[in-house]
Amino acid sequence: MMDAQPSLPSDAALLAAYAAGDAAAAQTLATRLLPGVLGQATRMLADRTEAEDVAQEAMMRLWKVAPDWRDGEAQISTWLYRVVANLCTDRLRKRKRTAATRLDDVAEPADPTPGVVDQMQTGARHQALADALAQLPDRQAQAVALRHLEGRANPEIAQIMDISVRSVESLTARGKRALAALLAGKRAALGYDDD
Amino acid sequence: MTDPDMKALDAALADIADQHPQVPDALMTAVLRDAAHLQSRAIVQPDPVGLWQAFLDLIGGWPAVSGLAAAGVAGVWMGIAPPVALETAAAQMLGTTQVVDLFGTDTLSGFAVEGGVE
């Protein structure tokens, strides 16, 4: 989501320029990185307000780490994936107590208008999934989200989570099975009644 | 958990993965405001390295300076008032010592002493 084009300055170069006092570098970096950060948070949390809070916090951490950033040690995009995933699982953990109730609440859309139904179903599906993610252990939730919502490859997830590829495979497999079990019988909530 | 459950999950995951929200102007403004606020603290200040700092770095910093100073003071002190044990040890190692006045001068005043060389 955050790969720089070859002719453009790298994320690390921009961050170094920001740390050296270049105000324009912050704008370029934010324009390049913020959409991906917000997207990851939104997909994981299914809550726009919370996702925006997480995105702002993640970028705040990037500005803070700028003077100490060592180019070559890690990709900024990898670091950001990790920060956003951690911030999101913190928030999902807080939802655990209410998630079960919410899953029952979103079962049926009330308005029969087709467009509204679609919209509500999309929202309800997303909410149901986020609530189910909240029930998983943090590492499983992060691995599943990075693999199936962000589309990251296992070696990249291993880097992001600082674990082995084998562990990623195990976490995603167990996480997805747990997610399916949590959502078993909730196909209405997911908006897929028939097969 | 059944196969249809897994299919429904896969479909839901794929739908959500396709969502790419636009960044609201207010969020971008807030992020850039944070960046500007933190930038003054984030600016890297190059360390001024003067000659004294370079010398300190060369010898190992302030601990090395204090060691050198202590050794110097101890050396001066032992030269002025050598401990008896040191004289004894020196005599044992080097044999008895004898002071020979080669020039017959009063080394303190710089004048020739009586019977010496003028």
3-class DSSP state for residue B105?
Answer: strand
Q: Does a structural domain hold residue A195?
A: no
Is residue A1 situated within a structural domain? Answer: no
Q: Which of A26-30, B96-100, B112-116 is the most confident on average? A: A26-30
Taking CA–CA distances from B2, the nearest residue in chain A reads: A184
The answer as to whether A26 is a domain residue is: yes
- Is residue A2 a part of any domain in this protein? no
- What is the model's pTM? 0.67
> Contacts of residue A42 in chain B, CB cutoff 8 Å?
19, 21
**Could you tell me if A12 and A69 are in contact, meaning their C-beta atoms sit under 8 angstroms apart?**
yes
Residue A74 domain-assigned? yes
Structurally, chain A folds into a number of domains equal to 1
Rounded (5°) CA angle B12-A183-A136: 95
Q: Please report the pLDDT score of residue A35 as a whole number.
A: 97
Q: Which of residues 39-58 of B touch A (CB under 8 A)?
A: 39, 42-44
Q: Do B5 and A177 touch (CB under 8 A)?
A: no
A5 lies in some domain: no
Report CA A193 to chain centroid distance, whole Å: 27
Calpha distance A85→A30 (Å, rounded)? 18
A195 touches chain B (CB under 8 A): yes
Mean pLDDT over each residue of chain B, to the nearest integer: 76
Three-state SS at B45: coil
Instruction: Inspect the interface and report whether the beta carbons of A67 and B43 lie closer than 8 Å.
Output: yes
CA A41 – CA A126 distance, rounded (Å): 12
In a domain? residue A3: no
pLDDT tens by residue, B30-39: 999 999 999 8
Kindly report the backbone phi and psi dihedral angles of residue A47, in degrees, each rounded to the nearest multiple of 5, phi listed first.
-145, 110
Contacts 24+ apart (CB under 8 A), B60-65: none
Band of pLDDT at residue B118, cut at 50, 70 and 90: very low
pLDDT category, A166, cuts 50, 70, 90?
A: very high
Structural domain containing residue A185: 11-190
In the predicted model, is pLDDT for residue A99 greater than 60? Answer: no
Neighbours of A51 (CB within 10 A): 25
Cβ neighbors of B16 (< 8 A, separation 6 or more) are A43, A46, A125, A126, A129, A149
Task: State the pLDDT confidence band at A105, using cuts at 50, 70 and 90.
Answer: low
Contact B6 A51 (CB under 8 A): no
pLDDT recorded at residue A84:
97
